[in-house]
Amino acid sequence: MKQRSLKQRDYDWHPQALSPDYKSSILRSPTQPLLRVDGLASELDGPAFSPDVIGPLDHNLIQNYAAALGSNGEAIGPRIIVHGRVVDENNRAVPDTLVEVWQANAGGRYRHINEGYIAPLDENFGGCGRCMTDENGCYRFLTVQPGAYPFPNGPNTWRPAHIHFSVFGTAFAQRLITQMYFEGDPLIQHCAILNAIADPKAVQALIGRLDMETSVPMDCLAYRFDIVLRGEGSTPFENRMEGN
């Protein structure tokens, strides 16, 4: 088995663990510095998934929930393609990696036991999807544009419309969960969760761009969201993983 090193993570680029304006972070953020692990580590390896596990409608959030209930109903809301490419920091494609998404429906309501927002459920929308990247690292979902929703953080705090993404890469240390926002959304500047990121360029990296070229006439608009995972560092290791 081949292992490698990863570039050191830039923790200043990510949202700060303690971001007091995002109330939930106050009691859930470690106060001690992270312990640096150098050299070979188990986390430099990770799971691989077979494309065989992906069903034909897994990427189609407009149809997959109703289809699972035996109906051909479709979710309500603006139809959109969300697509992009998963690469590493060295701009190398990350092929055959699992991408999972979840989101609120067009009214901003999640299908979840702890959800209490007054917007109605959509009987044809579950809000989860997944796909594998192709050989070029490309992924593609068909969904409805999620609505903004309020959350109990301050007296009147709202999340901009967003889609949650989970990406694997090839090493456990590359594991990433993030959120894609929508170009032009005026709520972006008011979001306490996004504002936990200090660098405006990092915020920009989370905004999906309207992509007219990929939109389908008389059918759906498209947004493009490229994802960058940690890249291989300059000192790769060879390791045979034969006990220690």
Active site residues per annotation: 110, 149, 159, 162, 164
Residues 29-58 binding another protein (CB under 8 A) are 29-32, 34-37, 39-47, 49, 53, 55, 57-58
The closest alpha carbon to 224, from 163, 155, 177, 172, belongs to 163
> What does 50-117 look like in DSSP terms, one character per residue?
-GGG--TTTTBTTTHHHHHTT------S-EEEEEEEEEETT--B-TT-EEEEE---TTS---STT---
**Strands, DSSP E only, in 173-214?**
176-182, 207-210
94 contacts another protein (rule: CB under 8 A):
no
Residues 130-159 binding another protein (CB under 8 A) are 130
- C-alpha distances (whole Å) from 36 to each of 18, 30, 168, 175 are 19, 15, 21, 17
Q: Which helix (H) or strand (E) holds 204?
A: helix 200-204
111 contacts another protein (rule: CB under 8 A):
yes
77 contacts another protein (rule: CB under 8 A):
no
Q: Which stretch binds another protein (CB under 8 A): 73-81, 132-140, 203-211, 216-224?
A: 203-211
Q: Which stretch binds another protein (CB under 8 A): 17-25, 131-139, 140-148, 209-217?
A: 17-25
194 secondary structure, DSSP code = G
The binder of another protein chosen from 4, 140, 175, 190 (CB under 8 A):
175
| Closest approach of another protein to the CB of residue 224, in Å | 13
Q: Say if CB 75 and CB 218 are below 8 A apart.
A: no
Draw the binding track, 182-201, toward another protein (x: CB under 8 A; -: no contact): -----------xx-xx---x
The binder of another protein chosen from 4, 14, 190, 209 (CB under 8 A):
14
